[in-house]
């Protein structure tokens, strides 16, 4: 994706929009104003249709954001750290630190987004039947209901990185116990589905004259094909050939820490300024007792932040992965990928010397 601009934070999660989102909203508002709403609600003025189109397009983007928050909220319940949510041309992307802890967790996180869209869609469908509302409002509500239901159903197509593809992979993963085997199976199905989408899109554009819809579907098919290939590379590629590098060559040196008794309110400025994924070791008398993840604190209500301590939010020491600085990268990659938090403390002779993140040894954050 091209560069994005920050919209703010909701529940501690950074929200961004790619510039392509402006194109999506403009195209959608134009199509609704010029074709969809005049056919559904004839007799309105062009100004009314334009207002209806703009409101519907903006509300659709809000629906996409809620869909992604469904993923994000469930991911937090699974113990994952939320990196960000980005809205763009083909919808939205929620990014998490590290990997899913299990196939069952991936299924639950994947299904949460479509569940939100379907609940929202059927709720709006009920509102659109309220006869006391003006016809123009009913028309917009009905369209939003249909588009959210379509969004929920479409995302369940069994193709990575769509939610249906992740659900399929989660099922195979939970059944076989192998993430690599599950990813390969999901990729094969994704390739068939993506090819079908491209073919149907071309038919829509050439045979039935629906150029916008056909091109759109074909582009989504191309995106799915590329994204599924990227998923396969990330989750099935063999570990890199040994290059002599070890954890000490990529770790972040230990430079700051907090204590269990530190008040969250005393850290509020540092938490707000910290990049997504920032974490600090928690030391008590020089010994590591846990890890304080800033993203967890960002999600707290203000009144809770005022009274909470680091000890109330930290990840306990027994849940953390610890690695010797001389560990080869290939070995460390496997250990950190299994870590629930996608991190490891680098400990040398019982002394904390650094922190290493999954992205330091295995690439980009996970997206859904």
List active site positions: 68
Are 294 and 271 contacting, i.e. CB atoms less than 8 angstroms apart? yes
Spell out the long-range contacts of 225-228 with Cβ–Cβ below 8 A and sequence spacing 24 or more.
Answer: 225/190, 225/191, 225/194, 225/195, 225/198, 227/160, 227/161, 228/159, 228/160, 228/161, 228/165, 228/186, 228/187, 228/190, 228/191, 228/194
* Tokens read off for 299: 């999600």
Q: What values do phi and psi take at 274, rounded to 5? A: -75, 140
**SS3 call for 26:** helix
The pairing of beta strand 287-293 with beta strand 252-253: unpaired
Residues pairing with 357 in the sheet: 343
Count the neighbouring beta carbons within 10 Å of the beta carbon of residue 118. 18
CA 283 – CA 366 distance, rounded (Å): 29
Count the neighbouring beta carbons within 10 Å of the beta carbon of residue 102. 16
Distances (CA, A) of 65 to 73, 117, 251, 268: 12, 10, 34, 26
Are 192 and 165 contacting, i.e. CB atoms less than 8 angstroms apart? no
Among 200, 198, 204, residue whose Cα is nearest residue 218: 198
Strand segments, DSSP code E, in 107-149 are: none
Could you tell me the sign of the dihedral formed by the alpha carbons of 45, 49, 54, 56, in that order?
A: positive
> How many Cα atoms occupy the beta-carbon half-sphere of 36 within 13 Å?
21
User: What's the DSSP call for residue 173?
Assistant: H
CA 246 – CA 251 distance, rounded (Å): 9
* Tokens read off for 1: 């994706």
């Amino acid at each position: 994706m091209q560069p994005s601009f920050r919209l703010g934070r909701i529940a501690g999660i950074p929200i961004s929009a790619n510039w392509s989102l402006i194109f999506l909203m403009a195209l959608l508002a134009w199509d609704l104003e010029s074709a969809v709403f005049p056919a559904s609600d004839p007799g309105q003025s062009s100004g009314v249709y334009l207002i209806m189109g703009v409101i519907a397009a903006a509300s659709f983007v809000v629906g996409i954001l809620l869909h992604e928050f469904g993923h994000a909220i469930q991911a937090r319940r699974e113990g994952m750290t939320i990196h960000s949510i980005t809205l763009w041309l083909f919808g939205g992307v929620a990014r998490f630190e590290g990997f899913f802890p299990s196939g069952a967790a991936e299924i639950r996180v994947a299904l949460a987004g479509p569940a939100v869209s379907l609940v929202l869609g059927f709720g709006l469908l009920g509102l659109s039947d309220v006869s006391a509302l003006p016809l123009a409002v009913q028309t917009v509500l009905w369209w939003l209901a249909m588009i959210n239901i379509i969004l929920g159903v479409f995302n369940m197509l069994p193709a990575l990185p769509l939610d249906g593809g992740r659900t399929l992979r989660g099922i195979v993963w939970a059944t076989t116990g192998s993430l690599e085997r599950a990813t390969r199976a999901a990729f094969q199905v994704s390739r068939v589905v993506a090819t079908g989408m491209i073919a149907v899109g071309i038919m829509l554009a050439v045979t039935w004259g629906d150029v916008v819809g056909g091109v759109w579907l074909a582009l989504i098919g191309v995106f799915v094909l590329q994204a599924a290939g990227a998923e396969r590379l990330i989750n099935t590629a063999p570990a890199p050939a040994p290059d002599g590098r070890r954890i000490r060559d990529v770790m972040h040196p230990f430079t700051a820490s907090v204590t269990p008794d530190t008040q969250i309110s005393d850290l509020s400025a540092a938490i707000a300024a910290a990049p997504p994924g920032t974490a600090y070791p928690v030391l008590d008398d020089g010994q590591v007792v846990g890890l304080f993840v800033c993203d967890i604190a960002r999600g707290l209500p203000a009144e809770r932040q005022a009274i909470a301590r680091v000890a109330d939010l930290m990840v306990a020491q027994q849940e953390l992965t610890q690695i010797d600085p001389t560990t080869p990268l290939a070995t460390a990659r496997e250990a950190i990928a299994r870590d629930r938090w996608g991190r490891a403390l680098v400990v040398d002779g019982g002394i904390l010397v650094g922190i290493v993140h999954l992205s330091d040894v295995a690439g980009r954050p996970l997206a859904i």
